[in-house]
Structure 1
Amino acid sequence: MTAEAPAATFSIRRRILALALALLLGAAAVLIAFIHDYAQRASDRAFDRLLAASALTIAGAVQIEDGSIIVELPVASFAMFSGRDRVFYAVEDSAGRLVTGYDDLAAALGSVQGTDPSFADITYRGELMRVASVGRLTSAANAADWVTIHVAETQSEREALSAEILGNAIVPVFALTLLAVGLVWFGIGRMFAPLTQLEEELRARAPDDLSPLAVPAPSEVSHLVSALNAFMARLGSTMERLSGLVAEAAHEVRTPLASLRAQAEIAVDETDPQALRQRVSRIHQGAVHASQLVSQLLMDATISHRLESKETDPLPFGAVVDDVRHRLDPDAARRLVADLTEEAQAASLRGDRVALREMLRNLVDNALLYSTGPVEIGARLTGGNLSISVSDRGPGIPDAEKDKAVERFWRGGTGAGKTGSGLGLSIVKRVVEAHRGTLALLDRDGGGLTVEVVLPVVAKRQRPAGRKRPASAMLGLLAGMVLAFASAPDAQAITSTYPAPRPDGAGTTLTIVGTTDTPLFARFIAAFQAQRPEVSVIYEETETLPMYERYAEGTLTPVPDLMVSSAADLQLKLANDGHALAYDSPFLDDLPAWARWRNEVFGFTFEPAVIIYNPDLVSAEEAPRTHLRLAELLETQTERFSRKVATYDIAVSGVGYLLAAQDQLISSNFWRLANAFGRVSAQLSGSSPAILNGVADGSLALGYNVLGSYAFARQQAGANIEIIVPDDYVLVLTRAMVIPRDARNPELAKAFLDFSLSPAGQAVAAGETALGAVIAGAEGPWSSEAIAARGRGVIQPIALGPALLVSLDRQRRTRFLETWQEIVSPKP
């Protein structure tokens, strides 16, 4: 029979080198293709930003004078270009008529109705051009119109930049590829050296040497060394425990076995039946003692193993008692009296089920063995602990022996004549210590012993009372909201806690700080907890500017997991300053582009700024349908509306300042309206609900720039107000969510953000809260489509973007507020 030929060997070194060479060459080809594409995209992005900046600069110079569009072209609008490309521009009104620039460029492009720049490639005057187009909304008289700005540039500079990036990147790619091949060849030899050293170390060891390996190794091999060391440590611990068990068993079992042998030898020669019966009885007692000792030794080893494994689960104490009772024989079970309250039975202990059962079983067995009467089990909750007591009427344990009673194999004087191993209380002590509890041996009043064990319990969260409200409770909900604002109009923080409906999660608490009224935001929390019943929510309601200032100063403690504010500009500044955590929500594709920024600021509502009035004080015919009409009404009837008009105090309200700054950018009538407010001594307030209260009770006639969400909800609740969605233009803001970078539970914050943007969350916004759904197609009476249909004006969302930061500039804000205060609230 021919011997089987050995398997052919191969060289790992050559295989790795061949594979590495193929991978490096393939990677170089892919990298060059990627660099070529990246160079084009990077060049386009850089020059597109310049084009957009130029168009926006020109848009900022658009003004309305005497009803005509005037553009004073800023020098900076073209100074940003290099000068090597040809530049063309055009400005046209809403009817497509040229205001200034190149008329043939305007004729080749369409009008734009939006403030976000759009880009296109066109052939103009025989050359390929890149064009940036942007719209500017202007308001004059009773109408709002769009002005379109186009800026075009030839593409030679961007092509040159793309070629330069590609050329500068290809040379290093080839050089690095050659260098990598050489390094791979050298590195392969060094790669196997630690494995060889490790093999030599293991071969030289004695069979019983389980000490840790001390071989220096790189991080890749160090994981293998750590795994070997951990395995040898476990093996050593197991061998040590096994050796101890064998030694203890040999020591303790030797005596009862020797006694059994001696009794058996005597019984063999015994002829007297009565004496033989006594010998057999002693043999039986010795066998019982030996059997119990072996069982206790095995259980001791089992408990040691389970405690080292640290397997823990919540376990009701009542289940432990039932388990122990079922393992007793019927006579012993009848002597066991368990006096437990429902609270103590339901108390959850976190630990190993077998270890806790054996702890209680050993206490009960000892009490049954050393007493003849009933054995009582008691339990009571004290704070976060469960105090367990096992009491009997036996001889007890003298004070001098109580410390020794918990030692292994120790039996006191009271145990004489009783079958036992001396392991029961030592097992109890180890189980109690492993579960972070305490053990005490106490004398019982009237005689006997009480063993008291105190163990920590798992805290349970209570289900909130009255969480579910029927739809018919909306009037009461809104009335409570109004009363809350009426009693606390200042920027006072109100904290509400919503425990988990099903408290089976450990430490799952979401902390939110926001400016939305608590009764309204509670709707979102309730719907979120319906999907995530294991999550508790803490919601702190505050005001926009104090929330921003407290977080910026580091005094907002504890740091929230989620921040929600209607002052989108302040939220954007937090993100711009690096305080926000980026998150790619799965619902971003459905969210309008204007309602998100850098995947760090997310809008979830659609809220117009409206005008409200009291129908008893202002008739429907004279109600101002436009911003200009409101200014004219206040100018012509100053005495009638003196101290009867209210708007935001923009110095203290973040959302008020945001709306005023956007009004000033859009409307040429803004300062005229501000002057009219000053003439009638307008009342300035820090919140929309306070203005709504005044208009509803008749102390105010008109309210300006009130958030439509609050107004719609109050009107639906029966308040005596009418709402005007302006016919010229309508500012729409969205409440913005930001996840702080230092949030303690960012995953919970992401889950709540996803819920708010999901169909279920948008249904809450479009439902009874009247906050408005920002995502199109939401179900409910307050969808974005339904809100837009209530007016005829141009819908102008306040887009989340860097443009909002302009109004927050310190000097610009100071000048704006000084001008506002001089006009609206001049000092006497």
Structure 2
Amino acid sequence: MDRTATATRQRPFSIRRRIFALALVLLLAASVVLIVFIRDYAERASDRAFDRLLAASALTIAGAVQVENEAVVVEIPFAAFAMFSGQDRVFYAVEDPDALTVTGYEDLAAQMGETVSSEPTFTDILYRGEIARVASVGRLISTPSDTGWVTIHVAETQNQREALSNEILSNAVLPVLALTLLAIGLVWFGISRMFAPLTELEHELRARSPDDLSPITVPVPSEVEHLVSALNGFMARLQKAMERVSGLVAEAAHEVRTPLASLRAQAEIAMDEQDPEALRRRVGRIHTGAVQASQLVSQLLMEATISHRMENSEIETTTLASVIGDVRQRLDPDQAQRLQIALGQAAEAPLRGDRVALREMMRNVVDNALVYSDGPIDIVGHIDKGALSVEVNDRGPGIEAGEKSEVLERFKRGKASNGKVGSGLGLSIVARVAQAHGGSLRLLDRTGGGLSVAITLPLPRRASSSKALGLAAALLLAPALALSPVPADAATTIYPAPDGSSAQTLNILGVTDTPLFAHFIAAYQAQRRDVTVVYEETDSLPLFRRYLDGEMETAPDLLISSASDLQLKLANDGHALAYDSPYLGSLPEWAHWRNEVFGFTFEPAVIIYNPDLIDDDEVPRTHLTLAELIETQTDRFRGKIATYDIALSGVGYLLAAQDQTISSTFWRLANAFGRVNARFSGSSPAILNGVADGSLALGYNVLGSYAFARQAEGAPIEIVVPDDYVLVLTRSMLIPRDAPNAELAKGFVDFALSPAGQAVAAGPTALGAVVPGSAGEWTSETIAARGRGVIQPIPLGPGLLVALDTLRRQRFLDTWQEIVSPKP
């Protein structure tokens, strides 16, 4: 039974069969996993395709929603249902803000809740005996009496979804099975071919003689090359070890033969000696020879041990004080008292190396000093230029200049060693250990007589550069250098790299006021001290046109604009570089489009007024009350109201187009502007200046970020966050496809979306942090809490392109111009 068990344990196994079996199992498992994945993918692909149709239908109906006499009316467009296949049942419902069904299936509306988002949401419900997929979309409307959400539901049964999913699955399974069978055949063939080089390697090794340790030169595939390299390395080490052992044996035999022969002769003579005194002398000589032979054998064994340890590179960290302490403990107390040690800072300096080898190195030096001198032995250590130096000084006979290089060889001794027991291996061991640790050994004449053995060993880089690292840390922790921006022209500001370098330059073209954006640049350069930033300030529409026309002298690396519709059009037309920022997941869905346009601020459109010109009890809190205030006091506010010139300002046009979509009072407000000869500007700061100095009484649709910052500076303005609805836009960043320094631009995008960048947005700039949960005074949560109106972010998405349609834009501008600036 034991023989059977032993035979079973020793029975060889086939790697070929094991690899094939493992490959077969993996291929079959992969096929199953792939089929499961394809099935899941088919279902998801089918859902995505039909969900987009559902969402398109719901959005089409939402676009047809109108308000007539404060009642919601909708005429269902033909295109809303023409996109469906006709094989499934379709249901719909439209609810007004009071949850009353305007049109469609009331029982469908009863099963669904209110939707307060313009982004489509999807739900599966059991409706009329079948599972139906429902797309729900909200449409914010504003009437003179109220502001609320109209909810649109479109539902479709799922027969065609399942049919498409099954079709995708069936068309994919057959190729998977065929490929699996083909892969199994290829694996078997490949395994057979793979083992052919190993057979050739086996023949090469079997044909060699036992003492042939030369490298293997048989050509092998790269997969086996590492094995052959390891085998060659092993044989090289084995050959070296054999040579070392052979040399050691030869030298030991030569060196030990003489003292052993002397011992034998002395012992034979002593056996015949009759004189007790002469016998005592003979025994003394025998003892001296035995000591010498013992020391020689001990040194030979130690050299072999050290050679082995040096070859195996047994590295650890120790200190000079620990090494010398080990040496001192091994000495007799009388001898140990002769050591006078002064190491200073070198005592605890870290040494990287073999602890045993370092100890034997120091022990040999100390033993020589104790043997060849009678007085105290001075051991001095110090650190100089990243290296540790230790000197062992004695007052012995020293070593002649011509012998200093010879005594470092094995079995070589100087003339001063006559009469002293020794092997001639001590200093050679010291030299080998020092050299193996990257150091050096020097034999110097000591002033006043004696020998000074100086050993220098390198310190680890971390220890040797601690002062430099401390200085670097101090520089990193120090405040940023106060480098004043250098204006290049009226609209461009250069922010030099804080470290003084000029190798990397980031060119940003943006619409944000330079003093505000300087906060972002300062915080960014605190992290990237090697980057120079060139910031050119312009308006949103000129930015868009100049980039498209290629009128800029230096191609920008980053475009930043508050007119996100224009940014989106640039991206949609193929001018943006895609970038998967690691902070993209923290952004709200509405604040980015794909991975090309990134929003980084949260800025409401607000109403500002001068408290000296408008009393608190007449401040307009909604869009309707603003229109009524202007209509009833036309003469008072003539020339005192200001808003954007939407023909010149990209952000002004964006806000006006969103107002017109949401509010039924928009054109009434525009008419009121025309009656008081409202003044129009291309930027928020100009409107703020007019309200602050009293030349204007009120500004409409001013960006809240500028208003909050100006108010914090002490400007005499008050801010109204409307109580009916609040439009919120986000400044967006875009990396042009032809950006010269795209990597730097990506780094700035990461910074702006990171907690550090969002803290700047929520800080003194008052631009608002778009990432929820950011730290600071001006977060999206605190800004939303300043008003009671419905927060309506302007989402970054293809919907913004509708207002940029050339014909639609021109008609909108013509109507606006006709109303706000009527001809006499």
Q: Which amino acid aligns with 2:730?
A: T
1:683 is aligned to 679
Cα distance in structure 1, aligned partners of 2:192 and 2:99 = 74
Structure 2 CA distance for partners of 1:508 and 1:192, relative to 1, 3 Å: farther
TM norm structure 2: 0.62
> Structure 1 residue 62: deviation in Å?
1.1
Could you say what the CA RMSD is over the residues aligned between the two structures, in angstroms?
4.0
2:798 is aligned to 802
> Structure 1 residue 39: deviation in Å?
0.4
1:304 is aligned to none
Structure 2 CA distance for partners of 1:533 and 1:623, relative to 1, 3 Å: same
1:106 aligns with 2:109: yes
- What CA deviation, in whole Å up to 9, does each residue of 1:554-600 have, x standing for no partner? 34453333221111111222222233333333333332221122132
2:558 is aligned to 562
Relative to structure 2, which stretch is displaced further, 10-19 or 58-67? 10-19
1:119 is aligned to 122
Q: Which amino acid aligns with 1:81?
A: F
1:179 aligns with 2:182: yes
2:55 is aligned to 52
Please list, as runs of the form range in 1=range in 2, the aligned pairs for 1:207-246 lying within 5 A after superposition.
Answer: none
Relative to structure 2, which stretch is displaced further, 699-708 or 189-198? 189-198
1:163 is aligned to 166
> Structure 1 residue 747: deviation in Å?
3.3
> Structure 1 residue 15: deviation in Å?
6.7
Cα distance in structure 2, aligned partners of 1:718 and 1:550 = 36
> Structure 1 residue 781: deviation in Å?
2.3
1:815 is aligned to 811
Q: Is the 8 Å Cα contact of residues 494 and 532 (structure 2) preserved in structure 1?
A: no
1:77 aligns with 2:75: no
Cα distance in structure 2, aligned partners of 1:28 and 1:586 = 33
1:508 aligns with 2:504: yes
Structure 2 CA distance for partners of 1:532 and 1:13, relative to 1, 3 Å: same
Classify the secondary structure of the residue corresponding to 1:629.
helix
1:711 is aligned to 707
1:664 aligns with 2:660: yes
2:545 is aligned to 549
Cα distance in structure 1, aligned partners of 2:555 and 2:735 = 10
2:690 is aligned to 694
Classify the secondary structure of the residue corresponding to 1:43.
helix
Name which of 497, 514, 517 aligns with 1:518: 514
> Structure 1 residue 64: deviation in Å?
0.9
Cα distance in structure 2, aligned partners of 1:783 and 1:125 = 46
2:740 is aligned to 744
Please list, as runs of the form range in 1=range in 2, the aligned pairs for 1:726-741 lying within 5 A after superposition.
Answer: 726-741=722-737
Cα distance in structure 1, aligned partners of 2:559 and 2:179 = 47
Please list, as runs of the form range in 1=range in 2, the aligned pairs for 1:139-538 lying within 5 A after superposition.
Answer: 139-184=142-187, 466-467=482-483, 493-500=491-498, 502-503=499-500, 507-538=503-534
> Structure 1 residue 87: deviation in Å?
1.0
- What CA deviation, in whole Å up to 9, does each residue of 1:756-796 have, x standing for no partner? 22222222111111111112233322222221122121111
Please list, as runs of the form range in 1=range in 2, the aligned pairs for 1:561-640 lying within 5 A after superposition.
Answer: 561-640=557-636
- Aligned residue pairs total 564
> Structure 1 residue 162: deviation in Å?
0.5
Cα distance in structure 1, aligned partners of 2:576 and 2:719 = 36
Cα distance in structure 2, aligned partners of 1:793 and 1:524 = 30
Cα distance in structure 2, aligned partners of 1:16 and 1:511 = 57
Classify the secondary structure of the residue corresponding to 1:749.
helix
Q: Is the 8 Å Cα contact of residues 66 and 73 (structure 2) preserved in structure 1?
A: yes
Classify the secondary structure of the residue corresponding to 1:659.
helix
Residue segments in structure 1 that go unaligned for 5+ positions in a row: 1-6, 199-214, 228-462, 469-476
> Structure 1 residue 74: deviation in Å?
1.0
> Structure 1 residue 14: deviation in Å?
6.6
Q: Is the 8 Å Cα contact of residues 605 and 703 (structure 2) preserved in structure 1?
A: yes
Name which of 642, 646, 653 aligns with 1:650: 646
Name which of 750, 753, 756 aligns with 1:754: 750
Q: Which amino acid aligns with 1:825?
A: S
Q: Which amino acid aligns with 2:574?
A: G
Classify the secondary structure of the residue corresponding to 2:119.
coil
Cα distance in structure 1, aligned partners of 2:762 and 2:724 = 25
Q: Which amino acid aligns with 1:72?
A: E
- What CA deviation, in whole Å up to 9, does each residue of 1:20-50 have, x standing for no partner? 5444333222211110000000011111111
Structure 2 CA distance for partners of 1:178 and 1:792, relative to 1, 3 Å: same
Cα distance in structure 1, aligned partners of 2:525 and 2:561 = 21
Cα distance in structure 1, aligned partners of 2:127 and 2:722 = 41
> Structure 1 residue 797: deviation in Å?
0.7
Q: Which amino acid aligns with 1:496?
A: I
2:131 is aligned to 128
Cα distance in structure 2, aligned partners of 1:661 and 1:687 = 17
Classify the secondary structure of the residue corresponding to 1:153.
strand
Q: Is the 8 Å Cα contact of residues 464 and 498 (structure 1) preserved in structure 2?
A: no
- What CA deviation, in whole Å up to 9, does each residue of 1:409-468 have, x standing for no partner? xxxxxxxxxxxxxxxxxxxxxxxxxxxxxxxxxxxxxxxxxxxxxxxxxxxxxx997459
> Structure 1 residue 119: deviation in Å?
0.9
Cα distance in structure 2, aligned partners of 1:826 and 1:190 = 88
Q: Is the 8 Å Cα contact of residues 464 and 499 (structure 1) preserved in structure 2?
A: no
Cα distance in structure 1, aligned partners of 2:549 and 2:723 = 41
TM norm structure 1: 0.62
Structure 2 CA distance for partners of 1:703 and 1:180, relative to 1, 3 Å: same
Cα distance in structure 2, aligned partners of 1:557 and 1:33 = 55
Classify the secondary structure of the residue corresponding to 1:621.
helix
Structure 2 CA distance for partners of 1:33 and 1:818, relative to 1, 3 Å: same
Cα distance in structure 2, aligned partners of 1:160 and 1:718 = 66
1:722 is aligned to 718
> Structure 1 residue 603: deviation in Å?
1.3
Q: Is the 8 Å Cα contact of residues 492 and 537 (structure 2) preserved in structure 1?
A: yes
Name which of 23, 27, 30 aligns with 1:27: 30
Cα distance in structure 2, aligned partners of 1:678 and 1:11 = 93
Relative to structure 2, which stretch is displaced further, 818-827 or 712-721? 818-827
Q: Is the 8 Å Cα contact of residues 142 and 728 (structure 1) preserved in structure 2?
A: no
Relative to structure 2, which stretch is displaced further, 752-761 or 18-27? 18-27
> Structure 1 residue 810: deviation in Å?
1.9
Residue segments in structure 2 that go unaligned for 5+ positions in a row: 1-9, 202-218, 230-478
Cα distance in structure 1, aligned partners of 2:784 and 2:708 = 13
> Structure 1 residue 606: deviation in Å?
0.9
1:61 aligns with 2:64: yes
- What CA deviation, in whole Å up to 9, does each residue of 1:593-627 have, x standing for no partner? 21122132221111110111222322222222211
Q: What fraction of aligned residue pairs are identical, expressed as a percent?
A: 71
Cα distance in structure 1, aligned partners of 2:799 and 2:39 = 33
Q: Which amino acid aligns with 2:495?
A: T
Cα distance in structure 2, aligned partners of 1:194 and 1:652 = 76
Cα distance in structure 2, aligned partners of 1:8 and 1:749 = 64
1:90 is aligned to 93
Relative to structure 2, which stretch is displaced further, 624-633 or 37-46? 624-633
Q: Is the 8 Å Cα contact of residues 509 and 537 (structure 2) preserved in structure 1?
A: yes
Structure 2 CA distance for partners of 1:189 and 1:540, relative to 1, 3 Å: farther
Q: Which amino acid aligns with 2:806?
A: R
Structure 2 CA distance for partners of 1:192 and 1:519, relative to 1, 3 Å: farther
Structure 2 CA distance for partners of 1:540 and 1:13, relative to 1, 3 Å: farther
Classify the secondary structure of the residue corresponding to 1:145.
strand
